[in-house]
Copies of this chain bind each other. A is one copy, B any other.
Amino acid sequence: LKSKFLYTGIRVKNLKESVDFYTKVLGMEVAGRSDIPVAKGEVVSLRSENGGFELELNHYGKGSRFDKKYNPGEGLDHLAFLVDNIDDFVRKAEKLGHPVVAEMKTEKSRWVYIEDPNGIWIEIVQ
């Protein structure tokens, strides 16, 4: 049996703040919104230029059995995004309140991390 990796769903504390981050800082587009009554959840799907692969933002309302205390944890190490120019990106992200929190360098490449509104690490590569 084969499978197809469809999307990555992250949990967010505040939908508006996270939609703002992924659309304004990372340039993604809202592809859809829906309610999942069975989980008392609300979902926003985001897409960037990648053959339709989606990032899904999941928000659970009061009374949902998934509305637990939020801890980013180590399950999700990071989400990676390719940008045209890393220096331009860093300047813009900083202006929008998301400064670089870590920088990595090897002989061949350099990449940086910023944090999303929930503390999830976002890798930026050029």
Which residue of chain B is the closest to A27 with respect to CB atoms? B2
A120 in complex: contacting residue of B5, B11, B75, B105, CB < 8 Å? B75
Instruction: Decide if A97 is an interface residue (CB 8 Å cutoff).
Output: no
Interface residue tally of chain A, by bracket? 35 or more
List, in ascending order, chain B residues with CB within 8 A of A83's CB. 1-4
Alpha-carbon gap, A84 to B3, bound state (A)? 8
A74 in complex: contacting residue of B6, B11, B47, B84, CB < 8 Å? B11
CB pair A75–B10 under 8 Å, yes or no, is yes
- Copies of this chain assembled into the complex: 2
- Chain A 82-115, CB within 8 Å of chain B: the 1/0 string? 1111001100100000000000111000000000
The chain A residues found within 8 Å of chain B, CB to CB, are 1-11, 26-28, 36-39, 47-53, 55-56, 58, 68-85, 88-89, 92, 104-106, 118-120, 123-125
Question: Could you write out 27 A-B pairs with CB less than 8 Å apart?
Answer: A1-B84, A1-B92, A2-B49, A2-B83, A3-B48, A3-B83, A5-B47, A6-B125, A8-B76, A9-B78, A9-B80, A10-B77, A11-B74, A36-B104, A38-B106, A50-B53, A51-B51, A51-B52, A58-B77, A68-B74, A69-B74, A71-B71, A73-B74, A73-B75, A73-B76, A75-B120, A76-B76
